[in-house]
Amino acid sequence: MKKHECISAHILENIQSGNMLPNEKLPSLREMANIFQVSIGTVQSAYDSLEHDNFIYSIPKKGYFVLGVNERFKAVSPLIDFFSGSLDTRNIPIHDIQQCMLKAINLYTTQAYRYTAPQGHKDLLKIMKTHLEGYQVYTDTDNIVMVSGSQQALDILCRMPFPNGKDKVLVEQPTYYGVLKSLEVNNTPREGIKRGFEGLSLQELDRIFHYDNIKFFYTIPRFHNPTGQSYTIEEKQAIVKLAKKYNVYIVEDDIAADFDTSNKRCPLHYYDIHDHVIYIKSFSKIVQPGLRIAAIVLPQLLLNTFIDFHRWTDTQCATLSQSTLAIYLSSGMFKKNTKMIRDIYVKRMAKLQEIADTLNDNDIEWSIPDSGFYACMKINKEIQFDQIQLELLKNRICLMDTRMFFLNEFKNNNYLRISISKANEDEIALGINKLVKIIKNHLFDESIDAPKYKEHFDLDWIY
């Protein structure tokens, strides 16, 4: 029996014997590793196996707990996942991707196993140029670089020098957690600007661009994470104009472009005639996150510096992933599957809007787009996430602590991100009604204190 299987068997025996009770906290990964004299990774494997089999559950920043099953271990109700930000595995076109990968191996033979130029596979770059035009992004092949996911692009941009000589990064508040971590680990100076359901203040953006030494402004104009909000045409044009006025670059993360139902919502890049917009398009939300591939379109002045940083970060994006994506895009499979996936999420958002309309609650303001992964609730009174987390888990609802999308100076307890990436229409109807009931109970019960546990946080939960 392998080490992680011994740990799993030990915990399972204690659960079955009643030595470990429902909702009892398990030892931390480090504590269990010391007990069994194994690595933390081995304990993690054991806990993952038990969680997959519905014997334990995890709470981000808290740890692992025994699931409340009865003596016969009857199946529990399925978890309603409002947490995840990755594509529902039931909707990933696995067979098509497999066929493209096999064809890439056969077509490119030895090329699929060799290094390519740091900029990317030449066939994919040509295909990508045409593909990006479908998003209203017009550029030369020479200005496109293939990277190992958008996170790598963000990391490089945070580290590399910019020709404007500035050093501070401006981020929307709230914003995608990954960019905040890149800024943190790279010790990059940063500034925040509030972006609520009504958008952002262009006056405030003008002031920050003018006085705060901003090298680039990171923004998610379309189906924003976590609010779901999108900029208007007028806002996009104004942002691009201010960038030119103050010589600030814009990093446009257009990760949800494939979910847009309107061809009239153009990216910021479309309005940029002065080469100040850096456009990033990841394929993790619409193809498969495991391919680890994204395209970045760079202004000419930034191109060589970025390629140099990319070359010495990981040499190149994986050749097999590039070859597979090239075939997937050119074969028509991408277009077919994207429509199918987009239709699913349009229906899910419509169901969420329908449920929100029936609730008609003055304590909760909603931001629900017509498509994409994320919607958001804004509660008119602060509510501590720790106070509702255990109640959510008891009701089999998994929700992310939205405070992690904020810089420390902007943190508040009014927002809750609702991801419908892995929740179907029935789960949305059931889960939202339960969630609102839990929130209302805690809004009117001021005597509830947050449970006190040792903090445990697994970054694999972050999307």
| Confidence category of residue 257, pLDDT binned at 50, 70, 90 | very high
Closest C-alpha among 278, 6, 259 to residue 137? 278
Closest C-alpha among 329, 355, 347, 327 to residue 259? 347
How many percent of the chain have pLDDT more than 70? 91
Reported as a single tens digit per residue, the pLDDT across 158-181 is 999 999 999 999 999 999 999 999
Give the strand pairing for 190-196 and 199-200. antiparallel
DSSP 73: -
**Taking the C-alpha atoms of 18, 21, 25 and 27 in order, what is their torsion angle to the nearest 10 degrees?**
-10
Contacts of 360 (CB under 8 A, 6+ apart): none
Q: Is the per-residue pLDDT at 223 higher than 50?
A: yes
Closest C-alpha among 303, 292, 257 to residue 141? 303
For 227-379, strand residue ranges (E) read: 249-253, 277-282, 294-297, 364-367, 374-379
Mean per-residue pLDDT of the chain: 89
Q: Is the per-residue pLDDT at 71 higher than 50?
A: no
Average pLDDT over residues 297-317: 93
Could you give the angle at the alpha carbon of 84 between the alpha carbons of 83 and 85, nearest 5°? 125
Say if residue 201 is exposed, middle or buried (CB neighbours under 10 Å; 0-12, 13-18, 19+).
Answer: middle
Encoded tokens for 376: 């958001």
From residue 115, alpha-carbon distances to 119, 149, 294, 368 in Å are 11, 18, 17, 44
From residue 81, alpha-carbon distances to 241, 363, 421, 422, 427 in Å are 40, 23, 8, 6, 8
pLDDT confidence of residue 37? 87
Average pLDDT over residues 403-423: 94
Asked if residues 420 and 352 have their Cβ atoms less than 8 Å apart, the reply is yes
* DSSP codes joined into one string, 114-156: S---TT--HHHHHHHHHHHHTTT----GGGEEEESSHHHHHHH
Domains for the chain: give ranges and CATH numbers: 3-66 (1.10.10.10), 80-91+336-461 (3.90.1150.10), 109-331 (3.40.640.10)
| Confidence category of residue 264, pLDDT binned at 50, 70, 90 | confident
pTM listed for this prediction: 0.81
Q: How far apart are CA 217 and CA 172, in angstroms?
A: 8
Closest C-alpha among 215, 256, 217, 260 to residue 239? 217
For 197-257, strand residue ranges (E) read: 199-200, 214-219, 249-253
pLDDT confidence of residue 275? 97
Asked if residues 144 and 297 have their Cβ atoms less than 8 Å apart, the reply is yes
Reported as a single tens digit per residue, the pLDDT across 34-62 is 888 899 999 999 999 888 877 888 888 88
| Confidence category of residue 258, pLDDT binned at 50, 70, 90 | very high
Q: Is the per-residue pLDDT at 1 higher than 70?
A: no
Q: How far apart are CA 137 and CA 310, in angstroms?
A: 22
Q: Is the per-residue pLDDT at 29 higher than 90?
A: yes
pLDDT confidence of residue 113? 63
Asked if residues 102 and 320 have their Cβ atoms less than 8 Å apart, the reply is no
pLDDT confidence of residue 49? 87
Closest C-alpha among 148, 162, 177 to residue 251? 162
Average pLDDT over residues 448-462: 39
Q: Is the per-residue pLDDT at 442 higher than 60?
A: yes
| Confidence category of residue 108, pLDDT binned at 50, 70, 90 | confident
pLDDT confidence of residue 18? 66
For residues 190 and 8, the model is more confident at 190
| Confidence category of residue 68, pLDDT binned at 50, 70, 90 | low
For residues 159 and 89, the model is more confident at 159
How many percent of the chain have pLDDT more than 90? 65
Asked if residues 329 and 100 have their Cβ atoms less than 8 Å apart, the reply is no
pLDDT confidence of residue 356? 95
For residues 251 and 442, the model is more confident at 251
How many contiguous H segments (helices) and E segments (strands) does the chain have?
15, 15
pLDDT confidence of residue 13? 67
pLDDT confidence of residue 450? 43
Give the strand pairing for 364-367 and 56-59. unpaired
Could you give the angle at the alpha carbon of 152 between the alpha carbons of 340 and 43, nearest 5°? 85
